[in-house]
Amino acid sequence: MTSFDGSIAPNNNEGKFTAMAVCWLLGNGCLFSWNSMLTIEDYYGYLFPRYHPARVLTLVYQPFAFGTLAILAYNEAKLNTRKRNVSGYILFFISSLLVLILDLATSGRGGLGTFIGICVISGTFGVADAHVQGGMIGDLSLMKPELLQSFLAGMAASGIITSGLRFITKAAFEDSKDGLRKGAIVFFAISAFFEFLCVFLYAYVFPKLPIVKYYRSKAASEGSKTVSADLAAAGIRTFLKEEAEEDPKKLERLSNKALLLENIDYVVDMFSIYVLTLSIFPGFLSEDTGSHSLGAWYALVLIAMFNLWDLIGRNIPLVKSLKLESRKGLMIAILSRFLLIPAFYFTAKNADQGWMIMLTSFLGLTNGYFTVCVLTSAPKGYKGPEQNALGNFLALSLLGGIFAGAMLDWLWLIGKGW
């Protein structure tokens, strides 16, 4: 049995709402820096008009995120989750500072050298994302689904917050290079501070919450080694060797191959959700929607509407009667989203901005809703180590879809002279 230098939660709900709030903040921190970079696209578009920054930065980010997570997911059973997540948040903090320092050092000048520097930092964001997103989804997969849902909702909320801040800074400063630059500086100063807050929350607050200690202790009793450092930070010691000697079968788990084969439909679901979404957002919405009465605000409004409805979609599954859990139903619904590609194409060519805003909202709603449905349904019925592994594999599939979608997004430029 697992023993403690402290007490385990008497039930698996103690501290639940505090844990959900912390998970929401940590989810926010997972994408806050990257969403800040995307949301100041008008500034980078001004500095680097020939380099398609919305598309290029996404394309640079994704190989680093996917490649790093592939390595981490393959070795997930041996990794120290605490070091992995803390390292990721620290990397987010340092990278956000570097964006700010680069802009200050170059006095807001464009040029190829500055753009390459921003691309390098974008790749660093990808490495940080691989550490945090895969690590947190894997860790939360062995806890209550509400905690994972809160983390995913926090990720979506980062888009809403950054969009809201962008509207405020765009309205507050003149629509000029200096005004755009001031907004960008505000963005990354806030981003760096928030990432520092996430380091503190994960390292010192989250491990000590009763519900978190309960589920991590439960996972440790089922053979999980990834939670040991976090349990130690909470004052709990585990003795897996003694348990293995008492009951070797208790610590047995499915191989990664068997786990993947049992959940191949969920893996395809996650890939399909994000390959579709990223083939449209943000590149197409930033460059290919034509000129409309909203002018320079148009792309910002579209991105904000996507983020808003993505957040709403991620909260709908909290109502159990509205949560889709049928594996066949999820597959059919997710694959049907590919009909949005011709819908966006013909809307951009022939319809007005109202229809485009509606389509973008639906894209965000379905993206958020299906993401939560898949990630909270898949781990059910497995032991802690298996849930952590499955969470990592689904996060890898998610990033794989984002990577593929970011590459396919370039197809919209065919026939446009680049």
Read off the pLDDT of residues 345-364 as tens digits, 9 standing for 90 and up: 888 777 677 888 899 999 99
> Per the domain annotation, does 370 fall within a domain?
yes
| pLDDT score, position 2 | 42
* Per-residue confidence band for 139, with pLDDT thresholds at 50, 70 and 90: very high
Q: What is the 3-state secondary structure (H, E, C) of the chain?
A: CCCCCCCCCCCCCCCHHHHHHHHHHHHHHHHHHHHHHHHCHHHHHHHCCCCCHHHHHHHHHHHHHHHHHHHHHHCHHHCCHHHHHHHHHHHHHHHHHHHHHHHHHHCCCCCHHHHHHHHHHHHHHHHHHHHHHHHHHHHHCCCCHHHHHHHHHHHHHHHHHHHHHHHHHHHHCCCCHHHHHHHHHHHHHHHHHHHHHHHHHHHHHHHHCHHHHHHHHHHHHCCCCCCHHHHHHCCCCCCHHHHHHHCHHHHCCCCHHHHHHHCHHHHHHHHHHHHHHHCCCCHHHHHCCCCCCCHHHHHHHHHHHHHHHHHHHHHHHHCHHHCCCCHHHHHHHHHHHHHHHHHHHHHHHHCCHHHHHHHHHHHHHHHHHHHHHHHHHCCCCCCHHHHHHHHHHHHHHHHHHHHHHHHHHHHHHCCCCC
How many domains, the chain? 1
Work out the pLDDT band at 23, boundaries 50, 70, 90. very high
The answer to whether residue 141 is domain-embedded is yes
Statement: residue 3 has pLDDT above 60: no
Question: What mean pLDDT comes out for the span 30-53?
Answer: 79
pLDDT at 82: 94
Residue 70 included in any domain: yes
Window from 9-13, 66-70, 115-119 with minimum mean pLDDT: 9-13
Residue 413 confidence (pLDDT): 62
250: pLDDT strictly greater than 80: no
Examine residue 2 and state whether it is found in any structural domain, yes or no: no
Establish if 97 belongs to a structural domain: yes
Is 5 part of a structural domain of the chain?
no
Q: To the nearest whole percent, how much of the chain has pLDDT over 70?
A: 87
Q: Domain residues for 313?
A: 16-245+254-413
Q: Is a pLDDT exceeding 60 seen at residue 199?
A: yes
Does residue 14 have a pLDDT over 90?
Answer: no
% of the chain with per-residue pLDDT over 90: 49
- Top pLDDT among 267 and 356 is at 267
Assess if residue 47 is contained within a domain.
yes
Maximum mean pLDDT: which of 108-122, 181-195, 306-320: 306-320
Mean predicted lDDT score pLDDT of the chain: 85
- What is residue 167's predicted lDDT score, i.e. its pLDDT? 75
pLDDT for residue 284 is more than 90: no
pLDDT at 283: 64
- Asked if residue 189 is part of any domain, the answer here is yes
Which CATH number does the domain housing residue 71 bear? Answer: 1.20.1250.20
What's the predicted TM-score (pTM) here? 0.86
Stronger pLDDT, 309 or 58, i.e. the higher one = 309
pLDDT of 160 reads: 86
> Residue 242: its pLDDT value, please?
53
